[in-house]
């Protein structure tokens, strides 16, 4: 069902089944906009409620449905599962308030209904980078998530699943299988030095990935923490919010940091802000009682995650994404790899 055909009765049913509407009903909806992204449909709407609906129900909502399932049914992943089982332990902010979260079934795809914050929050226009102040807000939002689940006893049990050496190796080798065709397709657009880096990394023992078999500093990671998955306050005052949790998983906090900076920022900007922002993040860990994880350990894990960024352009290319979606990420990832001396990690 296209979300543009959504009715007030259907929305009421979704909200009731998710516990987001304890009383009353949605009496009318007005669809303002519907956007198809590469992975999901986003429907922006205004809802009118009956008089007995709680006063704090937001009128502006976003309904999000993926085009294809992004998880294996019952595996404890996916965005609906995140909002239903993991997000309530954190609240809003740093997460956007979720009104309903339904798994695939009952004639509808996996669906989440979120409060629409566009009236007060926004992000930079693609491809402009965030300001330094926005970067600090983004890292503060990640800190709240990472610190909450930092080495938590629930990890791998009720929250997410741990990787094993076998699962990590299979995952990376599956991506690396595309490398010969990727190199052939790029021809001399990929420099000889870049080709050597890719061949070295994916022909190695994969130690940057196998770090995840050591559970020290593992937490809940966003998995897609680029600038445009943060909502920053238009006024400049207040916290940032994190959206799009379909790729959440258990990982190092440094994974989100390397994704945010080293995969998307051109070298000059990254060299200027990378160390100060990592120090800002580490000060936040210390303030939350996590100072036994030293800055040196964070820096090493960040560099390992810079190596791991090299999978992203290959993966995007293998899925048929156009070059404007991955070429600059490849250039940024290779530059960060060289700048941070990552050869010694492979």
Do 310 and 210 belong to one domain? yes
Do 23 and 136 belong to one domain? no
Question: What backbone phi and psi angles, to 5 degrees, belong to 111?
Answer: -140, 135
- C-alpha–C-alpha distance, residues 224 and 245, integer Å: 8
State both tokens at 149.
Answer: 């689940």
pLDDT of residue 40: 82
Do 82 and 129 belong to one domain? no
pLDDT of residue 68: 64
Place of tokens 């308030």: 97
Do 208 and 324 belong to one domain? yes
43-57 pLDDT, tens digit per residue, is 999 999 999 999 999
Do 84 and 149 belong to one domain? no
CATH number at 81 reads 3.30.200
Helix (H, G, I), strand (E, B) or coil at 263: coil
Do 88 and 145 belong to one domain? no
pLDDT of residue 66: 79
Do 151 and 82 belong to one domain? no
Give the residue from 115, 134, 157 where a domain finishes: 115
Query: What residue numbers bound the domain in which 302 lies?
Result: 122-345
DSSP string over 177-221: TTHHHHHHHHGGGS-HHHHHHHHHHHTS--HHHHGGGS-TTEEEE
pLDDT of residue 227: 96
Give the residue from 115, 140, 159 where a domain finishes: 115
- C-alpha–C-alpha distance, residues 75 and 160, integer Å: 9
pLDDT of residue 204: 96
Residue 199 burial by Cβ neighbours in a 10 Å radius (0-12, 13-18, 19+): middle
Would you give the DSSP letter of residue 24? Answer: S
- C-alpha–C-alpha distance, residues 178 and 302, integer Å: 25
Do 158 and 70 belong to one domain? no
- C-alpha–C-alpha distance, residues 230 and 148, integer Å: 19
Do 147 and 107 belong to one domain? no
Do 175 and 317 belong to one domain? yes
Helix (H, G, I), strand (E, B) or coil at 331: helix
Do 284 and 194 belong to one domain? yes
pLDDT of residue 76: 59
183-198 pLDDT, tens digit per residue, is 999 999 999 999 999 9
Number of domains in the chain: 2
Contacts of residue 196, Cβ cutoff 8 Å, sequence gap at least 6: none
pLDDT of residue 193: 97
Do 138 and 223 belong to one domain? yes
* pLDDT less than 50: residues of the chain: 1-2, 72-74
pLDDT of residue 142: 98
Give the residue from 115, 135, 163 where a domain finishes: 115
CATH number at 186 reads 3.90.1200.10
State both tokens at 70.
Answer: 């992004």
Would you give the DSSP letter of residue 87? Answer: G
């Amino acid at each position: 069902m296209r979300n543009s055909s959504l009715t007030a009765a259907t929305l009421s049913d979704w909200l009731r089944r998710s516990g987001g509407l304890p009383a009353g009903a949605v009496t009318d909806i007005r669809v303002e906009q519907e956007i198809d992204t590469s992975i999901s449909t986003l429907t922006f709407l205004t809802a009118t409620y009956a008089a007995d609906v709680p006063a704090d129900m937001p009128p502006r909502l976003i309904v999000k449905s993926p085009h294809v399932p992004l998880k294996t049914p019952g595996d404890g992943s996916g965005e609906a599962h995140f909002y239903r089982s993991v997000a309530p332990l954190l609240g809003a902010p740093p997460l956007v308030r979720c009104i309903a979260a339904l798994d695939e079934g009952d004639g509808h795809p996996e669906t989440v209904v979120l409060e629409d914050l566009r009236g007060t929050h926004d992000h930079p226009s693609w491809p402009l980078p965030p300001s330094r102040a926005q970067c600090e807000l983004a890292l503060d939002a990640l800190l709240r998530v990472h610190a909450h689940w930092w080495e938590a006893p629930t990890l791998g049990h009720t929250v997410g699943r741990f990787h094993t050496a076998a699962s990590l190796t299979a995952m990376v080798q599956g991506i690396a299988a595309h490398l010969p065709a990727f190199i052939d397709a790029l021809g001399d657009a990929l420099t000889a030095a870049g080709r050597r880096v890719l061949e070295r990394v994916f022909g190695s023992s994969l130690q940057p990935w196998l770090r995840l078999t050591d559970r020290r500093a593992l937490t809940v990671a966003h998995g897609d923490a680029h600038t445009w998955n943060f909502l920053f306050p238009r006024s400049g005052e207040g916290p940032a919010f994190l959206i799009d949790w379909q790729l959440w998983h258990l990982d190092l906090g440094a994974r989100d940091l390397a994704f945010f900076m080293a995969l998307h920022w051109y070298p000059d900007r990254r060299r200027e802000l990378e160390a100060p922002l990592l120090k800002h993040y580490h000060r936040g860990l210390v303030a939350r009682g996590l100072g036994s994880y030293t800055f040196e350990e964070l820096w090493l894990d960040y560099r390992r995650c810079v190596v791991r960024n090299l999978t992203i352009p290959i993966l995007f290319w293998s899925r048929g994404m156009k070059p404007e979606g991955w070429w600059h990420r490849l250039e940024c990832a290779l530059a960060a790899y060289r700048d941070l001396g990552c050869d010694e990690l492979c």
